[in-house]
Amino acid sequence: MAAKRISFWCAGVLIVGGTLFLGGNQTWAADAPAANGQLQPIPDQSAAMAPQADNGQPQTYDFVDESVVSEEDGVEFCGVPCCSPPGRFWLRADYLMWWTNGMRLPPLVTTSPLGTPVADAGVLPGATILYGNSTAADYGRSGFRTSWGLWLDNCHVWGIEGDYFALGEGASNYSRYSTGNPILTRPFYDVENIKQNRELVAYPDVVEGTITVNAKDYFQSTGVALSYNLCCCDSCDPCVDPCSLPLLFCCRTDLLVGYRHYRYSDSVAIRENLRVTEIGPMQNWLFQVDDGFRARNDFHGSEFGLRSRIYRSRWSLEVLTKIALGNNHQVMTIDGQTIVTPTAQPTQVRDGGVFAVRTNEGTYTRDTFTMIPQLGLELGYQVNDNWRAYVGYNILYWGCVIHAAEQIDLNVDPRNIPVVQDPALPFPAFPGKTSSFWAQGLNLGLELRF
């Protein structure tokens, strides 16, 4: 009688009543005579009745059809594991088009109509905002992701995998030069005189110059995880190539446990290059004023997730849910500098700019516990045994990050610009604000299994 294939191709043990079936083709009977109390083969199916090999020993046959037996690391198994494309190793490469929520900039450059008195030029709320009071780097940008993995056993139950992805740098830049037309100013709130005020960048017959603002951010991540198959269901013989059955339907769910690192960093740099045109003792003096704000968020923690895949013929649908829990190390650096070049005099370097002065300059650090959830969807098509193409969508949310732009304090005591005069109020200050960050978008990629 031809042996019937067991559906669970990883050889197992089935105990029914007092009969034991082990992955072979012998039948054991409880009432067979036994010299030592052990079960004996039924006589007509005993080893004595088996065909003899050349060496006189009984010749045995494997339970599984030889046409579908393969070996890996000396272990025999049958066909393709349930709901897992062929191959023990896999490599993936993705093109990303993702969007982020960017960073919120305060008003940084203003103007007023020509003829506006110098005391009122660029003063909010009557002035026009040329740059700032908006969100920067919130547009879609390209990126890439690479992934790898391997199965640790022939049944594709245990596996290990890793990934790295990075988004291209998001940037928002502004630069404007003026001899006084148009008027250019930098607005702030004067805490000494308790009113809105400004610093002149360009005003007719007073000063001419250039104002430049560079805002940028960067996001990347890497991780490694151990996967374990929690459950698996199919409606097909697991020893049949899934690409050959147009109505194949099966599914599997894997548990993912591993390590995750996220890094989000952004910065805002403001520079003025000025020349005094007003007639007086400072005429033709040159000034370079710099304000720099740099923020970095580094997350390190554990990541847990579930990945469910449904296969139907060559098509597959994947749902991925993950959450990372760990420490977010935040670093904020604020520095300013003013370089003064008087006429026919040596250059002077002074500490402090306009929004970065002695009252808030320095490096600030903080550690917080953070949770970062992620959701992913993916639709794939198995081109052949080795290649699969797919398109997907991902979204993740980071609830507590420090943004450089949010640390720009527009409350300024003019006595701190740039040479400190005492007594002076401690403004601008370091606000230490935190807010959220999210990233979402599409991915398009190829997977190679071998």
Query: Would 3 be classed as within a structural domain?
Result: no
Instruction: Quote the pLDDT of residue 40.
Output: 44
33, 53, 77: which is the final residue of a domain?
77
Instruction: Quote the pLDDT of residue 82.
Output: 63
Q: Are residues 97 and 220 in the same domain?
A: yes
Instruction: Quote the pLDDT of residue 210.
Output: 98
Instruction: Quote the pLDDT of residue 47.
Output: 40
Instruction: Quote the pLDDT of residue 234.
Output: 61
Q: Are residues 419 and 440 in the same domain?
A: yes
Condensed to tens digits (0 to 9), the pLDDT of residues 120-143 reads 999 999 999 999 999 999 999 999
Query: Would 260 be classed as within a structural domain?
Result: yes
- The CATH number for 92's domain is 2.40.128.90
Instruction: Quote the pLDDT of residue 419.
Output: 73
Q: Are residues 21 and 116 in the same domain?
A: no
Query: Would 141 be classed as within a structural domain?
Result: yes
Q: Are residues 73 and 95 in the same domain?
A: no
Reduced 3-state DSSP string for the chain? CCCCCCCCCCCCEEEECCEEEECCCCCEECCCCCCCCCCEECHHHCHHHCCECCCCCECCCCCCCHHHEEEECCEEEECCCCCCCCCCEEEEEEEEEEEECCEEECCCEEECCCCCCCCCCCCCCCCEEEECCEEECCCCEEEEEEEEEEECCCCCCEEEEEEEEEECCEEEEEEEEECCCCCEEEEEEECCCCEEEEEEEEECCCEEEEEEEEEEEEEEEEEEEEEEEEEEEECCCCCCCHHHCCCCEEEEEEEEEEEEEEEEEEEEEEEEEEEECCCCCCCCCEEEEEEEEEEEEEEEEEEEEEEEEEEECCEEEEEEEEEEEEEEEEEEEEEEEEEEECCCCCCEEEECCCCCCCCCCEEEEEEEEEEEEEEEEEEEEECCCCEEEEEEEEEEEEEEECCCHHHCCCEECHHHCCCCCCCCCCCCCCCCCCEEEEEEEEEEEEEEEC
Q: Are residues 176 and 294 in the same domain?
A: yes
Query: Would 2 be classed as within a structural domain?
Result: no
Instruction: Quote the pLDDT of residue 424.
Output: 87
Query: Would 58 be classed as within a structural domain?
Result: yes
Query: Would 207 be classed as within a structural domain?
Result: yes
Instruction: Quote the pLDDT of residue 173.
Output: 96
Q: Are residues 138 and 54 in the same domain?
A: no
Query: Would 52 be classed as within a structural domain?
Result: yes
Q: Are residues 46 and 123 in the same domain?
A: no
Q: Are residues 69 and 148 in the same domain?
A: no
Instruction: Quote the pLDDT of residue 242.
Output: 46
Instruction: Quote the pLDDT of residue 316.
Output: 93
Residues of the chain below pLDDT 70: 1-82, 234-248
Count structural domains, the chain.
2
54, 77, 100: which is the final residue of a domain?
77
Instruction: Quote the pLDDT of residue 78.
Output: 35
- Domain that residue 43 falls in: 13-77
